[in-house]
A = this chain, B = another copy of it.
Amino acid sequence: MISLGCPDRTGIVARISTFLADLGGWIVEAGYHTDLDTGWFFTRQEVRADSLPFGIDELRRRFATVAEELDARSDWRVSDTGERRRVVILVSKEGHCLHDLLGRIGSGELDVDLRAVIGNHPTLGPITEAHGVPFHHVPFAKDPAAKAESFERVRQLVDEHAPDAIVLARFMQVLPPDLCDAWAGRALNIHHSFLPSFAGARPYHQAYERGVKLIGATCHYVTAELDAGPIVEQDVIRVDHTDDVADLVRKGRDIEKVVLARGLRAHLEDRVLVHGRRTVVF
């Protein structure tokens, strides 16, 4: 898989596709997009590995020249989609997103290497371990110093796996800025509202108070600004006056699960290219 973002100009597609054709590369799926506002070009191409005369490292080395010609700077990537991606999940007490991801992984739908689940409560340990996945309980105190220590412990537990994705599956703790930086472009959060509506705490309560007729969920990259990172996926479900807050919470869970699963899949398949606060999702 090759993905790239660069300033738009004539001949980019020809340059990349000729590069691949010259190697005999068989393109299985190709996406192209030009952002006319910013004059930026994006592409993602899946090439059959067995159609190439060499391995991923050599492809990466050769493509670097093309990327440089196109002024892509660091904004390109060559990866092996056949390689299983490493994932770590952070949770709190609410289990629906974790149950859902474990089910998808257990049934083979999501073919990833789930290295660990970390919880600030022990609640979800048993189900995690029943799926054969290590669970780490890292308690969080309210005292800032103790909290910083807990985050440091989480960071170590995460970083030792060098994960492709850190999933905040209703983690309920705001990541400190240094972790946002360290995990930039890899930390995915599920927020239980249709952002930018109802950012912050208790979004279903906010939604109820405002009397909206649809509720939603948003999967976004974590950035230092709370609930303001680039959005990968969103969806909504209809509610009405017969739904109290508990109903919103229950109905919303089904949206959270599916939005997070879709966002994670897109991220792990390198389908998401970030462009400022916006995303291109091929």
Binding site for B on A (CB under 8 A): 10-11, 13-15, 17-18, 20-22, 24-37, 51, 94-96, 99-100, 102-104, 106-107, 109, 127, 130-131, 194-198, 209-214, 216, 230-231, 233-236, 238, 240-242, 244, 250, 253-254, 258, 261, 277-281
Closest B residue to A255 by beta carbon equals B258
The answer on a CB contact under 8 Å between A213 and B231 is yes
The answer on a CB contact under 8 Å between A234 and B209 is no
The answer on a CB contact under 8 Å between A99 and B106 is yes
Q: For the complex, what is the distance from the CA of A210 to the CA of B240, rounded to whole Å?
A: 26
Q: Which residues of B contact A214 (CB under 8 A)?
A: 194, 216, 234-236
Q: For the complex, what is the distance from the CA of A17 to the CA of B13, rounded to whole Å?
A: 6
Provide 23 A-B residue pairs closer than 8 Å at the C-beta atoms, listed in order of the A residue: A13-B13, A17-B18, A18-B18, A28-B34, A33-B241, A36-B244, A95-B107, A96-B109, A99-B106, A109-B250, A109-B253, A127-B130, A130-B130, A130-B131, A194-B197, A195-B197, A196-B210, A209-B277, A210-B278, A212-B234, A213-B234, A214-B234, A214-B236
Copies in the complex: 4
Q: Which residues of B contact A230 (CB under 8 A)?
A: 211
The answer on a CB contact under 8 Å between A10 and B51 is yes
The answer on a CB contact under 8 Å between A18 and B29 is no
Q: Which residues of B contact A109 (CB under 8 A)?
A: 96, 250, 253
The answer on a CB contact under 8 Å between A279 and B99 is no
Q: For the complex, what is the distance from the CA of A254 to the CA of B261, rounded to whole Å?
A: 10
